[in-house]
Structure 1
Amino acid sequence: MKKLLVVISLFWLSGCGLLEDDSKKYELDEIEELYSEIIALSESVSCTNSSEWKFTAMGSKACGGPTRYIAYHQSVEEKFLSLVGQYTKLQAEYNLKYDVVSDCSLIVAPRNIICEAGKPVFMS
């Protein structure tokens, strides 16, 4: 009986690790799916007039600050900023929950946007 309890305990403890790994993967998949949606929305409008484009900080490094800046057309601004806000929040929570480490380098905001071949390009 004692051996059975030990085996059950070990199985249960190893199962908890598996559940945590599944949870971690699910959360990461959710973040990556949101990232893909943001990129698709950013690329959904061709850049022909740079004055119609804006940019925002996106993501959350583990030691603070954004992971990047991303351009968007003003016609998708409300939905775009909502998605970026969700993404940044989820990434910050994930970093905290799983003790993620980042490079802590400062990502400098671009000064301007120009259009090249239908795509927004940052000028620093």
Structure 2
Amino acid sequence: MNILPSSLSLRLAAASLLLLTACAGAQSPAAKPEAKPDLRLKASAAPPGSATTPELWQRVLAANSDLRCDDNSQCHSLGVGSKACGGPEHYLAWSSKNSDGAELKARVQQHAEARRADDKRLGMMSTCSVVSDPGARCNAGQCVINERPAFGPGGRPDAR
């Protein structure tokens, strides 16, 4: 006997899938560290027949599954998500070795539009901080996002 409404059951199933995906990624050091999970699962209710925000995020990750590279020129960064006051939430590395990125960019755009719709529907707010593009590089044959420097006293990068 099913006592949960079907829409709640679907959301719980999507949340479980994302949680398992995130846990699997945490166990594997080769997982893409820049592939951050969609944090607005509760906000992802969508009209029947359309994809939810978490489903769109999974499509972004699927379109970005080949990160192989030979050199830095094949690695690029792409802003993903949407902050409530504008701009991307974070950046993904992607490789142009075997793709021109057109499908990835289209899926990123669909996901960002869904995030903006979620924000508007829920009246979301953000800090409006700017997330700058860190760029990407080829590291051990895989495109990765450049690390941001740690800043020490006086606003200067730490000498680590």
Give TM class, smaller chain.
Answer: 0.5 to 0.7
Give % identity. 27
Higher helix share: 1
Aligned amino acid, residue 67 of structure 2 = V
Aligned amino acid, residue 42 of structure 1 = N
| Equivalent pairs, count | 102
Deviation at 1:88, TM superposition (A): 0.8
1:109 lines up with 2:133 in the alignment: yes
- 1:118/1:30 Cα in 2 relative to 1: closer, same or farther (>3 Å)? farther
Within 5 Å, give how 1:61-80 maps onto structure 2: 61-74=83-96, 75-80=99-104
Larger Rg: 1
TM-score, normalised with respect to structure 2: 0.54
Aligned amino acid, residue 64 of structure 2 = S
1:56-106 per-residue CA deviation (whole Å, 9 max, x = no partner) reads: 211111122111111222214110110011111111111011112223221
CA distance in 1, matches of 2:115, 2:44: 13
CA distance in 1, matches of 2:72, 2:102: 18
CA distance in 2, matches of 1:114, 1:60: 24
The unaligned stretches of length 5 or more in structure 2 are 1-7, 9-41, 149-160
1:94 lines up with 2:113 in the alignment: no
RCO (CA 8 Å, sep 6+): is it higher in 1 or 2? Answer: 1
Higher strand share: 1
CA distance in 2, matches of 1:38, 1:53: 17
Deviation at 1:24, TM superposition (A): 4.6
TM-score, normalised with respect to structure 1: 0.67
Instruction: Indicate the RMSD between aligned Cα atoms, in angstroms.
Output: 2.6
CA distance in 2, matches of 1:25, 1:80: 21
